[in-house]
Structure 1
Amino acid sequence: MAGLLSTAATAQPASAPGAPAPVLAPDLATFRALFQDMVETDTSITTGSCTLLADKVEAHLRGAGFGDAEIFRFAVPEAPKEGGIVVTLPGTSKTLKPMLLLGHLDVVVAKREDWTRDPYKLIEENGYFYGRGTADMKAMDAIWVDMLARFRKEGTKLPRTIKLALTCGEETSTAFNGARWLAQNKPDLISAEFALNEGGGGRTDGKGTVVVQNLHVGEKVVANFRIEATNPGGHSSAPVKDNAIYELSDAMVKLREFDFPVMLNDTTRAFFSQAGKARGDEMGKAMEAIAANPGDKAAEALLNTDKSFHSMLRTTCVATLVSAGHANNALPQRATANVNCRIFPGVAIEDVRKDLERVIADPRMTVTLADDRGPPGTPPPLDPKIVGPAQKLAAKYYPKAPLVPFLSTGATDGIYLSAIGIPSYGPPGVVGDPDGNGTHGLNERIGVQGVYTARSMLTELVKAYASK
């Protein structure tokens, strides 16, 4: 990524297609090989195995000197491929509470026929690493594993104990979730004063320049609703307008045209105000305006053209799955859609269900809660002990990009930690582009130089947290 080369002295420019691979320093080459192995180990719910990748992580850390007393493996009989690993690097202090590094090993399913490149091969091209999981979140996983391995090999002694938990199930609501299992069954094993997790990072302008860095301090609540139309059906040779598929289609069009109202909390107000001021362009002015006045319709209209800003400003609900009919020559008796909602902190799930009923406004339709992901995430405090070191290193690595608090519009396993009293933060580090880098979609990618810079930055940050 152009514009980032000066931020990490050990990193080399990424190679273009057909060009010879750059020569990396030995420690960076080791990290890249680890990252490649992680990406090329399929950990999707359908064709992959988190347990296999946890095996590889264990072997890597044992090779660095970790022993039986420091490694804990777990899985459940009904989900043998969804196992995880917890590793402990003991600290020297008897008073400082541990810190926890959290990451998920699983990835969203990727089909080779849909991708330009093989999704389960790490391909370095045009300044990016391509492959499923490169952005979400195997780059960060590799950084955590590489970091602990280097600390052990180098004999690094830190006051605070560092724990690492790599789990499965974050990407699939119906799967065994390792973070939830640990929180419910092994809370003492992962007990910590705070955790570092995904969700932070930063954002470029799409051209290689980092414009903002993020400290993740909260997230939305995830819930799925089942929208259903039923009908007596009949023979397709005698069609009627009263058709379950048509009714469901009408409901989905209404949902498509609906926006939940703008909402702000302390985190998002600070984000839009500070990040907007740093930008200085028309979008930045709109960000500042919405922070000052959530009712500014002109500012909202411009912000809505950016999908991440649109989502951060409100609850969102979107159709993700549909199913209808029972035969080619019969009128449908049932048509259903799954609507996935990301609910703004503090809004009740039942209130969102009622809003969907109101928007659809069709008594023939039913709206029921299908599932929710777990306990509502409690936004952690903006603790100076967390914010201070992050601000210092953010200024060192990307001095022109301010560090601002950030509300994740996605979902992380941090909610299971907050439920047992461990505040979870997403630190700055791995940066992404405005288009989302293909996360959960096609041709997922992450900037090569950004990954190498994040490795250096997060190593310093963890050392800072573990030293106080």
Structure 2
Amino acid sequence: MIRKLISAGAGAAVALAAAAPALAIPPPLPGVDTGEQAFRATYKELVETNTTLSSGSCTLAAERMAARLKAAGFADSQLTLFATPEHPKDGGLVAIYPGSSRKLKPMLLLAHLDVVEARREDWTRDPFTLIEEDGYFYGRGTVDDKAQAAIWTDMLVRFAREGYKPKRTIKLALTCGEETSGAFNGAEWLAKNRRELIDAAFALNEGGGGRTNGTPISKGGKLEGVSLQVGEKAYQDFTLTATNPGGHSSQPVRENAIYELSEGLLKIRDYQFPVEFNDTTRAFFTRMGTLRGDAVGKAMIAIAANPGDTAALAVVQRDKMLNSMLHTACVATLVDAGHALNALPQRATANVNCRMFPGRTADETQAALAKAIGNPAIAIEQRVKDKPIAKSPPLDPAIVAPVEKIAAKYWPGIPVIPTMMTGATDGVYTGAAGIPTYGVPGVWLDPDGNGLHGLNERVEVRSLMTGRAYLTELVKALAQ
């Protein structure tokens, strides 16, 4: 039987907007024998396996992918299904495809199986039925992240059936919990409990990609940019609480929990964390600024050279994405206050969501919020304790050069730009475990984001198939 681990313990495409020169390129598709039908079957099975936190099962999806790998020739010893008694439906899979070299450290292919909630009554089509329509695949997870999970799984299936012999051992980790902060997270569990299963020189993950000008490539659209994610912010929620004895609403007083909390939130709104740069963001601002050539581009170059340039900062901050890349960012996202319509509030709470610049801790971010609010009566608490610090991997030529070389073949004339993701992925856990993690290019999106985390998620068929071909070639290059 396939090994099952049961633990007693507890789980940038947007960055390229209006930047690179747009080219009408029909990206090459895979060659003669692509195994496309088999890939489509794997992709369909993943998308149609509900893996939402409320009613789905990542464990089932992992078991189905393990069955496909076993049918392709993987031995039981190469497949490890894992779950915990507390979270039986949040399991995952680690598969190991051995290489011939004892000197080369393995590489890790990472993807998450869980998806954001999707209600049938809100969608035009059934979110858990893969539908191909007008050159697109529709369904929850068609991009985030079952596209990559299916590509990685299908790739190892093909390698096994073809008898491909890499020098570097290739590991695959399909995990759960990436979409829900505070839920069981498989990547975190593996890093803490079974580090040896995923030990690798580096990992390839979601987060990179490309974007079109809004018209599908298959219908003459233009690709505007390709990104390689080299680092990301860390995610943390803080609960702010103001309390008061309350009383009868017919006799109001100035001291009011809602007012105090509101004043604190307004101070957070007006507070800006210091501008910071690392190797990735400095390279991004410099290269992207050069490509743009407009006033914003010139300001990007200027602030990368001198973070204290207030005039350049004022220009760059007009773009919310560029502004977010410059520093830690915090924003109020939820509020809850009062207990009765005719009573003074005894308690008012708010959630403040922070995306922390690589290297910044939750403790220092909390301290900065407290200082900005300036009211010790407002309590601040981290919703999830002991989350890892985001660590940006190096701009390693051994990774970057193959990414760029193969991208030039698939998307000639369009540069690959290193980008720091303003959001977050499971790369924060593998990075914290000492495994440099990169979000690789491949699948491109439209400017509207293709419904990721929203309604009617979709991906262009040509994008998925070209991304599959690109990633296969990239993995082979890095494995040799």
If the length of structure 1 is used for normalisation, what is the TM-score? 0.89
Pair 354,420 (structure 1): closer, same or farther in 2 beyond 3 Å: closer
Corresponding position of 2:206: 198
Contact 2:393 2:436 in 1 (8 A): yes
1:98-247 equivalence runs, <5 A = 98-207=106-215, 208-247=221-260
Distance in structure 1 (CA, Å) of the matches to 2:212 and 2:295: 17
State the shift of 1:319 in Å: 1.8
State the shift of 1:289 in Å: 3.4
Corresponding position of 2:28: 8
Corresponding position of 2:389: 376
Question: Of 285, 291, 301, which residue of structure 2 is paired with 1:272?
Answer: 285
State the shift of 1:443 in Å: 3.3
Contact 1:213 1:428 in 2 (8 A): yes
Distance in structure 2 (CA, Å) of the matches to 1:307 and 1:127: 31
Pair 133,71 (structure 1): closer, same or farther in 2 beyond 3 Å: same
- The CA RMSD over aligned residues, in Å, is 2.5
Distance in structure 2 (CA, Å) of the matches to 1:35 and 1:413: 21
Distance in structure 1 (CA, Å) of the matches to 2:351 and 2:46: 32
Corresponding position of 1:21: none
State the shift of 1:155 in Å: 1.8
Pair 326,411 (structure 1): closer, same or farther in 2 beyond 3 Å: same
Distance in structure 2 (CA, Å) of the matches to 1:204 and 1:288: 24
Unaligned runs of 5+ residues in structure 2 are 1-21, 216-220
Corresponding position of 1:27: 35
Per-residue CA deviation, residues 385-413 of structure 1 (Å, 9 max, x unaligned), is 11111110111111222112221222222
State the shift of 1:294 in Å: 2.9
Corresponding position of 1:15: none
Per-residue CA deviation, residues 337-362 of structure 1 (Å, 9 max, x unaligned), is 11111111233433322322233334
Corresponding position of 2:74: 66
**2:270 is the counterpart of 1:250:** no
Corresponding position of 2:416: 403
| Range moving further from structure 2, 102-111 or 205-214 | 205-214
State the shift of 1:297 in Å: 4.4
Per-residue CA deviation, residues 198-219 of structure 1 (Å, 9 max, x unaligned), is 2222334444433332222212
Corresponding position of 1:86: 94
Contact 1:4 1:450 in 2 (8 A): no
Pair 95,358 (structure 1): closer, same or farther in 2 beyond 3 Å: closer
Corresponding position of 1:76: 84
Distance in structure 1 (CA, Å) of the matches to 2:269 and 2:124: 29
Corresponding position of 1:344: 357
Per-residue CA deviation, residues 269-295 of structure 1 (Å, 9 max, x unaligned), is 101111232334454344333323334
**2:276 is the counterpart of 1:263:** yes
SS in 1 for 2:459: strand
Per-residue CA deviation, residues 235-290 of structure 1 (Å, 9 max, x unaligned), is 33444443322332333333334433332211101011112323344543443333
Distance in structure 1 (CA, Å) of the matches to 2:193 and 2:317: 42
Corresponding position of 1:46: 54
Question: Of 320, 337, 343, which residue of structure 1 is paired with 2:333?
Answer: 320
What is the count of residue pairs matched by the alignment? 454
SS in 2 for 1:323: strand
Corresponding position of 2:18: none
Q: Give the partner amino acid of 2:261.
A: L
Q: Give the partner amino acid of 2:47.
A: V
Distance in structure 1 (CA, Å) of the matches to 2:412 and 2:25: 14
Distance in structure 1 (CA, Å) of the matches to 2:437 and 2:365: 26
Per-residue CA deviation, residues 100-119 of structure 1 (Å, 9 max, x unaligned), is 11111112223334444433
**2:304 is the counterpart of 1:291:** yes
State the shift of 1:372 in Å: 4.7
Unaligned runs of 5+ residues in structure 1 are 12-23
Distance in structure 2 (CA, Å) of the matches to 1:291 and 1:248: 36
| Range moving further from structure 2, 73-82 or 413-422 | 413-422
Contact 1:278 1:401 in 2 (8 A): no
Contact 2:227 2:416 in 1 (8 A): yes
Per-residue CA deviation, residues 95-150 of structure 1 (Å, 9 max, x unaligned), is 22211111111122233344444333333445443332223211111110111111
Pair 163,26 (structure 1): closer, same or farther in 2 beyond 3 Å: closer
Question: Of 49, 63, 69, which residue of structure 2 is paired with 1:55?
Answer: 63
Q: Identity rate of aligned residues, in percent? A: 59
Distance in structure 1 (CA, Å) of the matches to 2:308 and 2:127: 43
State the shift of 1:298 in Å: 5.0
